[in-house]
Structure 1
């Protein structure tokens, strides 16, 4: 939903929650400055969150920090995402085959949301992604895999509603270039993220086929570029396509 939040206090409460989640413990003046609120208003906001159990104040430094109640809340949400329980065995097998980290995402508007991640701890370089974080469809392997299953009108709507930002030298910021890329994805069956969202990281991705049309889920193998040359991409693409066929049967 776009536009101004009709309940201003709710807007401020969640801004404070998101700020503490992003920055970690903060003092009242730090909160006031970051939220662009006067000190008394910021104090009322954080006191409300404290009353509800989402925030606590450290007695040693007087800084405010999130409690584990927010973690419990997110865990309850994730436990209801049955699709994760369905695909997890396939993701784990893909991780074991590839020796790399595997992600599973769900589309939410113009973004993909990470709803599962199977890390390969054999590698010293770990992916910075986390469950619950978002990534724009237009500049991600998983996103382009899902966009390739859309018709032209849907792709145009996706592009027009996305904030197009060149975050790396390789980010696609031209609509015609995106259309060309989607055409290639349709031909080969899988998508690539060639350092388009994060420098030094490449991904091989595919979307799941679902009964009734429409694409809601996708998955990827991610690795640093030094472990993802073109020969390695072709090898991993084989694993991805096999896994796509196996998992898609669960959704038909």
Structure 2
């Protein structure tokens, strides 16, 4: 094993030990010595890790007592995981039903840091196409069906910021790579209530995606069906898209969505 990698792993382990140690003590503010003694670490090593945690906003130090305690950032991370698990738990039966109906892979994705993150996948038993849609994988918003749906939450200024930070890279010859093309596509999606990825992210793969709303009537996720273009013909999509819209609507209702506003009218 690479000695540098081993050292890095040990450092990561010690950092986690500090977080768990403080949490186990009810997040009571503790002195450097208390933490070092409790973890059998040298004060200098402990201080180095504490400083890193402070720099990353996971820890705070009282300037008067010099004692350390965890911030609420760790709770924010936990809440994101909890929210993902809640959505996935509600979505899984629906995803299985959609998978059985289409005979293709079904994905659930949300936005994180201006990217689509896949938080749930149900694979068809005979699925041969190797796509990038795996739990935890990320994809650009502008080139995926779910991503374009999530972009409907963006103002034009936010889209400008996305382009400035992420760009609109061409993943295939079919990818939308200009702001005008993207804005025109988003206007079309807003009217029709669903989005396509027609080999824009991966050659040979076609996808249809529908929005998932929560109780604030905001699109918080996208539910998509992906398969090879040889099976995911537009005729097949037209045949099943109403069913998919209904399932997206059903999941949205489970999350408290109201039909009074939003994209959610069925077509």
The count of aligned residue pairs is 193
1:189 aligns with 2:193: yes
In 1, distance between residues paired with 2:177 and 2:113? Answer: 19
Match of 1:223 in 2: 227
Q: Which shows bigger deviation, 170-179 or 41-50?
A: 41-50
Match of 2:171 among 167, 170, 176: 167
Counterpart of 1:144 (choices 143, 148, 153) is: 148
Q: Is 1:239 the equivalent of 2:243?
A: yes
Q: Which residue of 2 aligns with 1:94?
A: 98
Q: Distance in 1 between matches of 2:10 and 2:247?
A: 49
Question: RMSD across aligned C-alpha pairs, in angstroms?
Answer: 2.6
1:209 to 198, 208, 213: 213
2: distance between equivalents of 1:173 and 1:143?
A: 14
Q: TM-score, normalised by structure 1?
A: 0.68
Runs of 4+ with deviation above 4 angstroms: 40-43, 46-53, 77-80
- 2:5 aligned with 1:45: no
Q: Assess, with a 3 A threshold, how the Cα gap between structure 1 residues 225 and 42 changes in structure 2: closer, same or farther.
A: same
Q: Structure 2 unaligned segments of length 5 or more: list them.
A: 17-80, 258-267
Deviates more, 1:242-251 or 1:42-51: 42-51
Shift of 1:79: 9.7
Structure 1: tracts of 5 or more residues without a match: 1-26, 29-39, 54-76
* Structure 2 length-normalised TM: 0.65
Q: Counterpart of 2:207 in 1: which secondary structure?
A: strand
Contact 1:208 1:216 in 2 (8 A): yes
The yes-or-no answer on 1:178 pairing with 2:141 is no
CA contact (8 A) 2:84 2:119 kept: no
- CA-to-aligned-CA distance 1:27-78 (integer Å, 9 cap, x gap): 53xxxxxxxxxxx64553255468899xxxxxxxxxxxxxxxxxxxxxxx57
Q: 1:50 to 1:161 in 2, by over 3 A?
A: closer
Match of 1:199 in 2: 203
User: Once the 2 structures are TM-superposed, how far is the Cα of residue 106 of structure 1 from its aligned partner?
Assistant: 1.5
Larger radius of gyration between Structure 1 and Structure 2: 2
